[in-house]
């Protein structure tokens, strides 16, 4: 079983709609969680950290569910520019190496 | 700001040839990483260097060697390239302790094809 698993999608979303997707992780001792964004043929970039209490950054909301061992990302009022692959990233222990999921592709259509 | 610079951006090799991917960062980061990315597989760690003078294997080190030349530079060498090493390679860096903040800075990637 992979350490970090994501639905590869694609999630086809009409412009202005809301989309949400999850990422599951296998190590219950995981410490830190992040979402990265990767545009086609580009390098990944940090989108946001995921805190225990949940956090919001503009139209993006990230949640952590430790009991069920998953994190989620919700995008409200989707823009065409949100089309990308979203990578879930987990640090299994303090100062451990970042572990990447394979990514969820989101395609926002006009 | 250059950030993380990788060279070359594209390379085509024949099976059995060798080559070195170069990576340099100008952010004074302690830790540097080499990943490969294949369709459906996500980013897989090849080697990393937690600090100058140290290197460690990651998830998929076979067929690769690395050198942490100094704090700025971390190179990846393919001694005898194989078609299975066709991939996009990313170098990344992070400052000490920042695995908690998660901000790994990536280079633009090197697209390698082995025929």
Instruction: Kindly write down the DSSP assignment for every residue of A7-71, as one continuous string.
Output: ----EEEETT--EEEEEEES-TT--EEEEEEE-TTS--EEEEEE-TT-EEETTEEEEEETTTTEE
| Cβ contacts of B107 on chain A, cutoff 8 Å | 43
Span B87-115, average pLDDT: 86
Instruction: Assign A93 a pLDDT band (cuts: 50, 70, 90).
Output: low
| Cβ contacts of A49 on chain B, cutoff 8 Å | 101-102
Q: Nearest Cβ partner of B97 from A42, A95, A97?
A: A95
Task: Decide if pLDDT at B96 tops 80.
Answer: no
Instruction: Assign B50 a pLDDT band (cuts: 50, 70, 90).
Output: confident
Higher-pLDDT residue of B86 and A1 is: B86
Instruction: Assign B100 a pLDDT band (cuts: 50, 70, 90).
Output: low
Q: Judge whether A83 and A106 are in contact, CB under 8 Å.
A: yes
| Cβ contacts of A31 on chain B, cutoff 8 Å | 100
CB pairs under 8 A between A and B: 54
- Mutation target among B104, B110, B111 for the A interface, most CBs of A within 10 A: B104
Cα B2–chain centre separation:
17
Q: Please state, as a whole number, how many other Cβ atoms lie within 10 Å of the Cβ of residue B77.
A: 13
Contact A100 B97 (CB under 8 A): no
Task: Decide if pLDDT at A94 tops 70.
Answer: no
Contact B104 A31 (CB under 8 A): no
Task: Decide if pLDDT at A67 tops 70.
Answer: yes
Measure A106 CA to nearest chain B CA, in Å.
15
Which run of H or of E encompasses A90? strand A84-91
Instruction: Assign B63 a pLDDT band (cuts: 50, 70, 90).
Output: very high
| Cβ contacts of A87 on chain B, cutoff 8 Å | 42-43
Distance CA A28, CA A42 (A): 31
Span B51-78, average pLDDT: 94
pLDDT of residue A3: 86
pLDDT of residue B94: 87
B103 lies within 8 A of chain A by CB: yes
Span B73-93, average pLDDT: 96
Higher-pLDDT residue of B50 and B67 is: B67
Q: Name the closest residue on chain A to residue B32, using Cα atoms.
A: A97
Contact B102 A49 (CB under 8 A): yes
Contact A95 B103 (CB under 8 A): no
Contact A41 B109 (CB under 8 A): yes
pLDDT in tens, A28-39: 888 889 999 999
Cα B35–chain centre separation:
5
Task: Decide if pLDDT at A108 tops 90.
Answer: yes
Span B100-109, average pLDDT: 84
pLDDT of residue A28: 84
């Amino acid at each position: 079983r992979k350490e970090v698993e994501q639905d590869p999608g694609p999630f086809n979303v009409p412009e202005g709609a809301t989309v949400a997707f999850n990422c599951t992780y296998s190590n219950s001792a995981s410490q830190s969680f992040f979402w990265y964004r990767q545009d086609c043929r580009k390098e990944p970039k940090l989108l946001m950290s995921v805190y225990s209490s949940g956090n919001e950054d503009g139209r993006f909301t990230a949640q952590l569910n430790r009991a069920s061992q998953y994190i989620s990302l919700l995008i409200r009022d989707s823009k065409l520019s949100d089309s990308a692959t979203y990578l879930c990233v987990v640090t299994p222990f303090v100062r451990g190496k970042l572990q990447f999921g394979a990514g969820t592709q989101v395609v926002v259509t006009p | 700001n250059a950030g993380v610079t990788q060279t070359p951006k594209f390379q085509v090799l024949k099976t059995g040839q060798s080559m070195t991917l170069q990576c340099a960062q100008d952010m004074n980061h302690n830790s540097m990483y080499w990943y490969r990315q294949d369709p459906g597989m996500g980013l897989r760690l090849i080697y990393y260097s937690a600090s100058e003078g140290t290197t460690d294997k990651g998830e998929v080190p076979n067929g690769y060697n690395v050198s942490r030349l100094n704090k700025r530079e971390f190179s990846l060498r393919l001694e005898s390239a194989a078609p299975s090493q066709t991939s996009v390679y990313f170098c990344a860096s992070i400052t000490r302790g920042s695995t908690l903040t998660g901000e790994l800075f990536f280079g633009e990637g090197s697209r390698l094809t082995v025929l």
